[in-house]
Amino acid sequence: MHALLSPLAARHRIRVVSTGGEPEFGRPPEGIELRLVDPGPPRGHSGEPWMRKHVRHYVSGHPWLYRAAEHHLDALAAVAPDEIRSFRPDLVMVSHEELAPLLHVLPSTVPKLLDLQDVLVQIQWQEARQGGPREWVRTALELGVLAREERRALRAASGTVVVSPQNLRIVKRLDPSGRAAFIPNCIDTSYFRGDGVRADTPVVVMTASYHYPPNQEAVNELIGSVFPRVLADVPRAELRLVGQRMPEALAARASDAQGVTLVGAVDDVRPELDRAWVAVAPLRKGSGSQLKVLEALSMGVPVVATPRVASALRLGDEDGVIAAESPGDIARAITGLLREPSRRERLGAAGAAVVRERFDSRVAAAQLERAWAEAVAGRGGR
């Protein structure tokens, strides 16, 4: 969002109201007004009888994932009337699906754009397909609750933006008559620009926020099934895990694994990408698209990813993203790149070029500006 809004701040007056707190890294974008709201502690359990609570939930309640964010929703709903009066926005953009109920709180006279970084019905469907019979029933029931609430949100919004073609198809299926646009995730390519000086020995890097369960599953697979195969063919290879908030048990496992270096949180990820030969993004769950892939490609580093990640970004082998499904195939793709410097350099250059063309923040910002204009025009606004 930082990269997306920064180019627009010179053309529009933008105010961000957030319960996220001060940025852990970096600083807010220049020229954007920022109001931080304390969401307070998460809501406790109501003590309602089990049967009544679950019947109400499945008949008319919000999804469980929405309920986990209710304290954020309440805090934003409390300040919304004051923000509307004082700022007098031409458009309100609600980011993240869990905050979609805000669309029903905001005045009907204000155009509203729903920004879906993830479509939760897709994540719920993944869980339903991978669980046992009992888990399948539970997640399938929740799938209906999510679909109901997502459909209500889409109909309440003046328009919707999503970050992957798969999510666009889901949104169109839920609300065929709604206005929806695919605007890919983006980065500032002028910031993520490498000098091409790699480490002397083979380095494979994964960058991520490790509190996210799909990233944790990816690390477990890398350590347990993928990287031992890489080491068997390239003994000097090193896997560097870069990023914040890794659980203690996973950090201990990573620290004990052969050839693995736990780097942890860094103020600037670029030096780690600069020295890397190959980046990996072997995620098997989740929605949206991966910024980590775009950052690596922009720095000239080819990426080995699961087909789900490559498909979400609509990138293939000749764009610098090698798709591989099984642990053995992922290991072979990594090993192949480590052993072929000319191919690695060619794919890195191709990846940097395609990211500058399709995923630069200025390109995506122009697309978002058009979505803003269409949402406002659809409501008769200026």
Are 370 and 346 found together in one domain?
Answer: no
Measured torsion, CA atoms of residues 246, 252, 256, 261, in degrees rounded to the nearest 10: 30
Query: What gap in Å lies between CA 296 and CA 372, rounded to an integer?
Result: 30
Distance, CA of 142 to CA of 157 (rounded, Å) = 23
Least confident segment among 72-81, 141-150, 184-193, 314-323: 141-150
Same domain? For 6 and 134 the reply is: yes
User: Distance of CA 91 to CAs 31, 61, 155, 184, 332, Å?
Assistant: 18, 28, 16, 21, 49
Structural domain total, the chain: 2
| 68 and 176 within one domain | yes
- pLDDT confidence bin for 381, thresholds 50/70/90: very low
Cα distance between residue 365 and residue 161, in whole Å: 12
Q: Is residue 79 part of a domain?
A: yes
- Output the pLDDT for position 378: 65
* Residue 195 within a domain: no
Confidence band of 331 (pLDDT split at 50, 70, 90): very high
How many C-beta atoms surround the C-beta of residue 27 within 10 A? Answer: 9
Question: How confident is the model over 36-85, as pLDDT tens digits?
Answer: 999 999 987 767 787 888 888 888 888 888 888 999 999 999 999 999 99
Do residue 159 and residue 44 come from a single domain?
yes
Residue 380 has pLDDT above 70, yes or no: no
Does residue 197 sit within a domain? no
Dihedral of CA 152/155/161/164: which sign? positive
Is it the case that residue 25 has pLDDT exceeding 70? no
221 is a domain residue: yes
pLDDT for 136 beyond 80:
no
d(CA 359, CA 353) in angstroms, rounded, equals 10
HEC per residue, 98-157: HHHHHHHCCCCCCCEEEEECCCHHHHHHHHHHHCCHHHHHHHHHHHHHHHHHHHHHHHHC
Name the percent of the chain lying above pLDDT 70.
95
Same domain membership, residue 293 and residue 207: yes
CATH for 37: 3.40.50.2000
Judge if 158 and 297 occupy the same domain: no
Strand partners, 204: 239, 278
Residues 314 and 242 in one domain: yes
198 inside domain: no
214 with 352, same domain: the answer is yes
Alpha helices per DSSP H over 16-115: 50-60, 64-67, 70-87
User: How large is the average pLDDT for residues 314-327?
Assistant: 96
Inter-residue contact 206 to 242 (CB < 8 Å): yes
Do residues 194 and 270 make contact, with C-beta atoms less than 8 angstroms apart? yes
CA distance 41 to 74: 11
Residue 192 lies in a domain: no
Q: Is residue 209 part of a domain?
A: yes
Residues 367, 334 within the same domain? no
On whether both 172 and 296 belong to a single domain, the answer is: no
Q: Is residue 128 part of a domain?
A: yes
Q: Which two tokens stand for residue 288?
A: 């949206």
**Beta carbons of 66 and 101 less than 8 angstroms apart:** yes
What SS3 state is found at 36?
A: strand
Residue 295 shares a structural domain with residue 155: no
DSSP secondary structure letters along 294-310: HHHHHTT--EEE-HHHH
Tally of CB atoms within 10 A around 129: 10
| 154 shares a domain with 7 | yes
Q: In terms of residue numbers, what domain contains 111?
A: 2-186+361-378
Angle, vertex CA 280, rays to CA 344 and CA 210, nearest 5: 155
